[in-house]
Amino acid sequence: MPNFDDIYELQAFLDKISYDPSEDKVIGVTDYNCHVLLHDENDYPIVLLIPIDVFHETWDNWLEGKRSMCERYNHYCGVLGSTKIEDAEILEDSEITIFHKGEEVKPFVVQVWEFSPFHDFEHG
């Protein structure tokens, strides 16, 4: 699991996390959160805990962005898009474990409270 010497390293790490609602895998749902699996640049697992209402809001926003791109180009398009975390909390004491490369590991767990309303879209 990544270690951070100061708040700036932690913020830099969070800034690198790109959530793509169309690609990242929902691995579980609890009463209040969707658990979404993605990986950092070193292939270390990250689990985002996203409140269900934030998950739906982000998906709706992402779909609206995709619709807008398809209309702009007047055809189906392979839009690639991700969004950045605006507000989150690192859960260092989480007891979540997952299997990664055949081993049980503790992923980096991030409780997300808000995503940017602006997705980084690219026409493909």
Convert the pLDDT of each residue in 48-103 to its tens digit.
999 999 999 988 888 888 788 778 877 776 666 778 888 888 888 899 999 999 99
Residue 23 confidence (pLDDT) above 90: no
| pTM (predicted TM-score) | 0.84
Which range of 20-24, 30-34, 75-79 scores highest in mean pLDDT? It is 30-34
Are 73 and 110 contacting, i.e. CB atoms less than 8 angstroms apart? no
Helices (H) and strands (E) in the chain, counts: 2, 9
The whole-number pLDDT of residue 3 equals: 63
Contact indicator for 84, 117 with CB cutoff of 8 Å: no
d(CA 38, CA 103): 16
Query: What local confidence, expressed as pLDDT, does residue 36 receive?
Result: 96
Q: Please check whether residue 98 is in contact with residue 107, taking contact to mean a CB–CB distance below 8 angstroms.
A: yes
Say if residue 109's pLDDT is above 90: yes
Q: Are 95 and 114 in contact (CB under 8 A)?
A: no
Q: Which two tokens stand for residue 77?
A: 């398009």
Which tops the pLDDT comparison, 9 or 100? 100
Task: State the pLDDT at residue 51.
Answer: 97
27 against 64, higher pLDDT: 27
pLDDT of residue 28: 95
C-beta of residue 108 within 8 angstroms of C-beta of residue 48 = no
